[in-house]
């Protein structure tokens, strides 16, 4: 397993060791001791979503009850984005994007304090995320995927959004008490 830090503190790219032969491949998707060794907390919930091409989910976060997320794709290809919404962070309002696919099995760890979203680049994608805290509907928030102040370089032009994702506002309009310090 190879772990790479990103320019935004706390975001990690995790590349598993894959053993391939003429039968296929094998890799450990998760092994608790190895992740804890790298200061990645344990997980309490595992979610899976299936989405079709051009679906964009996000940008979501929970506050309070912030969730860390370990995300990966088990089928298809997505472009995944995390936005730093920690008001006291030197990288506040900065984002990082990475392509995740079933070809590389790369994982992306996003700690609490980041808004998260992804868009689907393949015909369909099965997206998995392990969470460090339970889902709390009353703590769920989001910000506009196309916030001009963030200038995220989404690789799609006309995303398919949920009704809820269509209503999210820009980061500068979100009350500071809904963000992280």
Is residue 35 annotated as a catalytic residue, yes or no?
no
Question: Rounded to an integer, what distance in angstroms lies between the CA atom of residue 165 and that of residue 56?
Answer: 9
Contacts of 89 (CB under 8 A, 6+ apart): 9, 113
Tokens encoding 13:
């790219």
Is residue 60 annotated as a catalytic residue, yes or no?
yes
Pairs from 23-28 (Cβ < 8 Å, separation ≥ 24): 27/105, 28/1
Q: Catalytic one among 60, 105, 109, 168?
A: 60
Q: Catalytic one among 35, 61, 129, 168?
A: 129
Helix (H) or strand (E) holding 2: strand 2-5
Q: Which residues are catalytic?
A: 60, 129
């Amino acid at each position: 397993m190879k772990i790479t830090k990103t320019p935004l503190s706390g975001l990690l790219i995790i590349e598993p060791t894959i053993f391939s032969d003429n039968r296929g491949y094998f890799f450990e998707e998760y092994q608790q001791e190895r992740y804890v060794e790298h200061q990645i907390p344990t997980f309490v919930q595992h979610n899976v979503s299936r989405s079709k091409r051009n679906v964009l989910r996000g940008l979501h976060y929970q506050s309070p009850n912030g969730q860390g997320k370990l995300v990966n794709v088990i089928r298809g290809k997505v472009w995944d984005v995390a936005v730093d919404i920690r008001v006291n962070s030197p990288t506040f309002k900065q984002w990082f994007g990475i392509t995740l696919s079933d070809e590389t099995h790369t994982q992306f760890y996003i700690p609490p304090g980041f808004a998260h979203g992804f868009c689907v680049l393949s015909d369909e994608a099965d997206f998995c995320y392990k969470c460090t805290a339970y889902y709390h509907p009353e703590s769920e928030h989001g910000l506009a995927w196309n916030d001009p102040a963030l200038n995220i370089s989404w690789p799609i032009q006309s995303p398919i959004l949920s009704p809820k994702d269509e209503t999210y506002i820009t980061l500068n309009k979100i009350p500071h008490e809904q963000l992280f310090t």
